Amino acid sequence: MKTFSAHLKDQPPEEFQGESISAFEVLRRLKAKSPERIVAVRINGELKDLSSPLDAEAELEPVYLEQPEGLEILRHSTSHVMAEAVKALFPGVKVTIGPAIEDGFYYDFDYERPFREEDLPGIERKMKEIIEADLPFQRKEVSRREAVEFFRGQGEDYKVEIIEDLGEERVSLYTQGSFTDLCRGPHIPSTGLIKAFRLTKVAGAYWRGDENNPMLSRIYGVAFADQKTLKAYLERLEEAKKRNHVRLGAQLGLFSTHEEVGAGMIVWHPNGMMLRHIIEEFEIEEHLERGYEMVKGPTLLKTELWKKSGHFENYRDNMYFTTIDEQSYGIKPMNCLSHMLIYRSKIRSYRDLPKRYFELGTVHRHERSGVVQGLFRVREFTQDDAHILCTPEQLNDEIKGVLDFVRDVMGIFKFDYGLEISTRPEKSIGSDEDWERATEALMKAVEDIPLPYDINEGEGAFYGPKIDVKLKDALGREWQCATIQCDFTLPERFDLSFVDRDGQKKRPAMIHRVILGSIDRFIGVLIEHYAGAFPVWLSPVQAIILTVTDRSTSHGKHLLGTLRKAGIRVKGDFRNEKLGLKVREAQLMKIPYMLIVGDRECDQGGLTPRMRSGQNLPLMRAEEFVDLITEDCKQRR
């Protein structure tokens, strides 16, 4: 009888006898903790099913349900259960792919009609039947030919296409109940381990993300280790729906989108434009305080310039082009080219550096219509874009200065954040030496402060590595906004130089950076972060005057003029309507202060503020209210 040894990580090995023993049985004999919570195992570092046979020396590490890897396996297994349920309920449906994603899973289906929200309860009930049956997930390896024959026999054309594209001689299939899927695995041992799931929504998705391919129905779901965690997640989901920036954007009169205008194009309404103005004014003030100079470049630049920069080769799929007088032009997706031309317009000395050029630049990027979403993914947006040109010796201080800028601004908006350093992507320009210098510069600056960071391999810009700042909003969701990119390549391509103290020409280093990023996207994040109830300094409308009767109108209009002259963003509602209706409408608009004006206020020449929280303040003069607002606005610091 065969003998082999196995051990848990950091424990001594034990001897086992037998031709083949399942990994789970070995874990059980090794007295692994909480065997009922184990869903998979690492065998010599490789993730495997618990049913995997062992017949040679191995180090085992159990993977528990509540661990990130365990949850991913649970969610992927739940997607298989959903696919089985859909195939049982909708004869003729074809399956495509069904991966685990953050917090959940999805599966794409090709059916004679799109799936609808009302289909989800029936699919959930069928899934619960499959889960209650506690069906085992069984793995089987077959040849490519056998797999193609099997799926072709089932009419699963998409699976056949996937197998043929893989080009592998052998593939693995997983079966539970009546459903067999192409899958690398691993999976949970059986369906009964799925304790907490919910199908959340349906959407359309092109096969392989290509709009030239068929439109599929995508069903999303979430799955967690227990019902308590699922319940908390669903509550957050409901809160997120209430905070949805597209819904609130319409309710608060901020912005709209229109099919006749085009996907990814935003129409800004008066309140939204005022909000943009406040943020842009704030941005200008903050940049000027830190020694930035304001500049502006054109929207159209000749295509030859985009070829020189490398954008044409590496980024043209995201750009728009047009022809004028038989000359090709590119509509700018970024602002860096004009800033480099400004720098190159005269000889620079080391004494002139650093140069910090700042532009609220509107850019255009070609996003597929299927991915545009509210303010989060648009085709036209404005960036708080800046480029710092400095000596290599100044680079560390300049990067740290930008990180300090990010810290200060995120503190004003009450955001927590984390950092990721994204390294060289496969599609890139520049020498290995320049990429290494740039990456080391970013890492050193972050470590000098010091700040923790993660590495995001291969996700840098095509011309240089970057620090990505991930904001956390009031619901704990992450958003990408600020970016700091270090670049030695474009200064070389554009022959940028400075004269050093010895009279020699040297190359400057270049930092590409944004603080808020896309102003449009940042506004979307702010709407959801504050649930539309902006702090007073940021509110497009800070106060609204509500008259009780027509007798109060004259005094109300006088107050309106007085407050506007004092710089308060105020509106008046002088309609002959009940006060309760006016108050409710103002609360829906999330206006910080409602200024009640009735007979008493007319007699005493004042106003009575009511806060959006419902708290009533005492009657006061207009000058006292101006002081109140002014003090509120100071608190942004």
Nearest C-alpha neighbor of 419 from the set 489, 372, 466, 360: 466
Q: What is the DSSP string of 256-304?
A: E--TTT-TT-PEEPHHHHHHHHHHHHHHHHHHHHTT-EE----SEEEHH
- The residue annotated as part of the active site, out of 75, 94, 339, 466, is 466
- End-to-end alpha-carbon separation of the chain, Å? 76
Sign of dihedral through CA atoms 207, 208, 213, 215? positive
* Residue 368: C-alpha distances to residues 200, 209, 323, 331 (Å): 24, 9, 22, 17
Nearest C-alpha neighbor of 456 from the set 445, 447, 468: 468
Query: Catalytic annotation on 365?
Result: yes
C-alpha 119/C-alpha 509 separation (Å) is 57
- The residue annotated as part of the active site, out of 183, 336, 390, 602, is 336
- The residue annotated as part of the active site, out of 80, 355, 356, 387, is 387
* Residue 622: C-alpha distances to residues 1, 379, 567, 619 (Å): 95, 44, 12, 10
C-alpha 414/C-alpha 452 separation (Å) is 19
Query: Catalytic annotation on 466?
Result: yes
Q: Are 78 and 194 in contact (CB under 8 A)?
A: yes
DSSP secondary structure letter of residue 137: P
Query: Catalytic annotation on 387?
Result: yes
Query: Measured in whole angstroms, how far is the alpha carbon of residue 353 from the centre of its chain?
Result: 35
Q: Which residues contact 600 (CB under 8 A, 6 or more apart)?
A: 608, 619
C-alpha 254/C-alpha 269 separation (Å) is 5
- The residue annotated as part of the active site, out of 176, 383, 485, 542, is 383
C-alpha 163/C-alpha 159 separation (Å) is 6
- The tokens describing 314, both together, are 């590496």
198 three-state secondary structure: strand
Q: Are 488 and 507 in contact (CB under 8 A)?
A: yes
Q: Are 303 and 328 in contact (CB under 8 A)?
A: yes
3-state helix, strand, coil in the chain (%, to 5): 40, 30, 30
Q: Are 400 and 297 in contact (CB under 8 A)?
A: no
Helix (H) or strand (E) holding 455: strand 454-456
Q: Which residues contact 181 (CB under 8 A, 6 or more apart)?
A: 80, 83, 95, 98, 159, 173, 174, 175
Q: φ and ψ at 178, to 5 degrees?
A: -95, 5
- The residue annotated as part of the active site, out of 365, 377, 569, 590, is 365
Query: Catalytic annotation on 67?
Result: no
- The residue annotated as part of the active site, out of 311, 512, 571, 610, is 512
Query: Catalytic annotation on 573?
Result: no
Query: Measured in whole angstroms, how far is the alpha carbon of residue 576 from the centre of its chain?
Result: 45
Q: Are 447 and 396 in contact (CB under 8 A)?
A: no
Query: Measured in whole angstroms, how far is the alpha carbon of residue 248 from the centre of its chain?
Result: 19
Query: Catalytic annotation on 383?
Result: yes
Query: Catalytic annotation on 125?
Result: no
Q: Are 309 and 337 in contact (CB under 8 A)?
A: yes
- The residue annotated as part of the active site, out of 49, 108, 119, 385, is 385
Q: What is the DSSP string of 360-373?
A: EEEEE----TTT-B
- List active site positions: 336, 365, 383, 385, 387, 466, 512
